Amino acid sequence: MQVSIVQGYDKKINKAETNIVIDVIRAFTVAHYALSGGAEKIIMVKTVQEALDLKKANPQYLAAGEVKGLPVEGFDMGNSPAEAAEKDLEGETLILKTTNGVTAALNYMNADSVYVTGYSNAGKTADYVKKSSGKGDRINIIASHPEGDDDFACAQYMHGIITGAKKFRLQEIERRIMESEAAMKFYDKSKPEFNEDDISYCSQVNETDFIMEVKEVNGLPAIVRLSI
């Protein structure tokens, strides 16, 4: 297998058998907890206007996400895993718009299979890709944040699992996430709009019997459960 790490949400990459898109803080941690809580699917959109238009056409859907990390007027939820974990989402369809993770996933659809993950289910996602990939497959692991160590640490962890080249201690990956630049504003008491509990969710494993696959559902790119 050819396994590469790419950092950033808008890089040019060659078509691969598998793209894995990572957003630890916070989009795909939110997605994981939403699906864990019973959400049916999560439709990804690039802009706030797309999200609002889709919600107008489907008022039963819940719009979630952020602009500059903050909740969006007219949305039902922010981009908070703590909120997603506490909210009753059984049977719900979410519309998700975020700066890095969603943008990256939509930009990197040029693969036979596309998966998204935070750290919370990175290990299981990597294990699945390792077992399901062929000897000559090309696999791109994309750390969606252009800078910082949270997604990159997770990408290195997954690369180690898939290739068997290096094993990382979970405590080390978790420390790098919690000490990453992206996490700092969540500890800042002058910024109560950022919930410190989110970092706890982003830096811990959440054992589930599924990983997250991106599929076209009714013509729209959506994150759905893939049972493992």
Q: Residue 89's pLDDT is what? A: 98
Long-range Cβ pairs for the range 83-87 (8 Å, 24+) = 83/195, 84/30, 84/33, 84/34, 84/37, 85/33, 85/36, 85/37, 85/201, 87/37
Residue 166 pLDDT: 81
pTM for this one? 0.96
Give, for 158, the enclosing helix (H) or strand (E): helix 150-163
Interatomic CA distance for residues 197 and 84, integer angstroms: 12
- Name the token pair of 82: 């703590």
Question: How far, CA to CA in Å, does 50 sit from each of 43, 47, 110?
Answer: 11, 5, 22
Share of the chain above pLDDT 90, in %: 96
Q: Collapse the DSSP code of 180 into the 3-class scheme (helix H, G, I; strand E, B; otherwise coil) and give the result.
A: coil
Give the chain's domains with CATH numbers: 2-227 (3.90.1560.10)
Which tokens sit at 28?
């795909």
Could you report the per-residue pLDDT of 3-47, keeping only the tens digit for each? Answer: 999 999 999 998 999 999 999 999 999 999 999 999 999 999 999
pLDDT digit string, tens, across residues 91-117: 999 999 999 999 999 999 999 999 999
Report residue 137 as tokens: 């497959």
**What is the separation of C-alpha 3 from the centre of its chain, rounded to a whole number of angstroms?**
19
Interval 175-224: pLDDT, tens: 999 999 999 999 999 999 999 999 999 999 999 999 999 999 999 999 99
Query: Using CA atoms, how far apart are residues 154 and 23, in angstroms rounded to an integer?
Result: 9
Q: Which of 36, 20, 145 is nearest to 81 (CA)?
A: 36
Task: Compute the mean pLDDT over every residue in the chain, rounded to the nearest whole number.
Answer: 97
- Beta bridge mates, 63: 95
Distance CA 134, CA 221 (A): 25
In 70-208, beta strands by DSSP E: 93-97, 111-117, 138-143
Q: In this model, does residue 167 exceed pLDDT 90?
A: no
Q: How far apart are CA 97 and CA 51, in angstroms?
A: 7
